[in-house]
Amino acid sequence: MACKLAPESENRAQLSPTAAHSGIIICLMQAAKNIPISVCFDDIAALAVGDMRAVDQLISASLNSDVTLISQVSQYIVTSGGKRLRPIIVLLAARALNYEGDQHVRAAAIIEFIHTATLLHDDVVDSSERRRGKESANTVFGNQASVLVGDFLYSRAFQMMVDVGDMRVMRILADATNTIAAGEVMQLMNVHNPETTEDDYRQVIYRKTARLFEAGAQIAAVLSRQDDAVEASMINYGRHLGTAFQLVDDALDYAASSEELGKNIGDDLAEGKATLPLIYAMQNGSEQESKIIRDAILEGGLDQLDHITAIIESTGALQYTAGKAREAANLAIESLAEIPESRFREALINIAELSIQRRS
């Protein structure tokens, strides 16, 4: 797939355009010097192509069920072109740490299953109608089927965890899954609450998103029997990367096009979700602008989307959010300083860069 370079001006702004929903296909550009360096997500994925094929095979084999609706719904979502970012991180991190076994493949598939289950549930909770450039599973098959097949995927992931045969890995995955669920509930409690602070928001995104990235990177360290310091570095990498990823996601909910993102724009506002762009715009807009946002959070709905997008723009809320994503990505990159240099470590660094430049 050809790399597409973002125009320099937009690249420097925050969230460079490009890409389609089928994957992060943007390239990196040295923003300050405007020198294109051709690093695409596909180039990064190519480093782990053999492992990724094994992950895909395991995913397909693990979806089997004699219950037709399970196969239908799970095939629908699994084959609909997700980025497979989390499994790729597990695979690259394991290689970066010179892991020589094959349990990283199973761990990567488990993490993608957990991620997919959260998406099935999340789209029901968020009433989201599009995902991965298609109608979401809940739109096609209904809420009940999405919730129940999400449960099937979670429980299949637990079965696969037993196959890894490592109590520490099992503990990390069990804890991460539980934390994600708590994060989604915490977010539900914040919905329609205009008093939600940036700190509240950060706690939610750590739990619902960053924790799974953290688990993936940590498992690579555990499988390859690293010492505590390296394990801590990998945990930090995952945590900061996941934070950056969700910050960008929340900016894209106002800044991207539905076509690029593969999801409907404005879903967060429709649900009255106080994400960082809204929190910042509410705090930094005029009294009248703050009230418009406050009311929109209280009531939900998209009536004021254009007006609110304009307030987000004029208050610099997207730049602020992008700046926070940049800070988190830098922390992720710094966390890798003690890991031996290799093309795999380089790929992990590039993933942090791409995650904040993505449009999908």
User: Rg for the chain (alpha carbons), in Å?
Assistant: 20
Closer residue to ligand IPE in complex, CB, 145/252: 252
Q: What are 201's two structure tokens?
A: 């928001």
Does 179 sit near ligand IPE (CB under 6 A)? no
Positions 120 through 139 that interact with ligand IPE (CB under 6 A): 122, 126, 128, 132
Q: Can you point out the beta strands (E) in the chain?
A: 27-30, 35-40, 130-131, 134-135
Q: One symbol per residue from 227 to 256: x for binding Mg ion (CB under 5 A), - otherwise; what is it?
A: ----------------------x-------
Positions 260 through 319 that interact with ligand IPE (CB under 6 A): 263
Q: Would you give the end-to-end CA distance of the chain in angstroms? A: 15
d(CA 160, CA 224): 19
Contact, 279 vs 202, CB < 8 A?
no
With CA atoms as reference, report the closest residue to 350 among 17, 78, 56, 27.
27
Does 353 sit near Mg ion (CB under 5 A)? no
Which position has the token pair 């289950």? Answer: 117
Does 122 sit near Mg ion (CB under 5 A)? yes
Specify which residues 29 forms β-bridges with.
Answer: 36
Does 211 sit near ligand IPE (CB under 6 A)? no
For the bound state, the minimum distance from the C-beta of residue 298 to ligand IPE, rounded and expressed in Å, comes to 19
Does 126 sit near Mg ion (CB under 5 A)? yes
Closer residue to ligand IPE in complex, CB, 278/339: 278
Amino acid present at 32 = A
For the bound state, the minimum distance from the C-beta of residue 213 to ligand IPE, rounded and expressed in Å, comes to 9
Q: What are 13's two structure tokens?
A: 């702004």
> Which among Mg ion, ligand IPE, none contacts residue 218 (Cβ within 5 to 8 A by kind)?
none
> Which among ligand IPE, Mg ion, none contacts residue 180 (Cβ within 5 to 8 A by kind)?
ligand IPE
Q: String of b and e for 339-353 (b: at least 16 CB within 10 Å)?
A: beeeebbbbbbbbbb
For the bound state, the minimum distance from the C-beta of residue 125 to Mg ion, rounded and expressed in Å, comes to 7
Q: What are 163's two structure tokens?
A: 């196959």
Closer residue to ligand IPE in complex, CB, 116/335: 116
Q: Write out the residues near ligand IPE by the rule CB under 6 A.
A: 82-83, 85, 118-119, 122, 126, 128, 132, 180, 184, 208-209, 246, 249, 263
Residues that bind Mg ion (CB under 5 A): 122, 126, 249
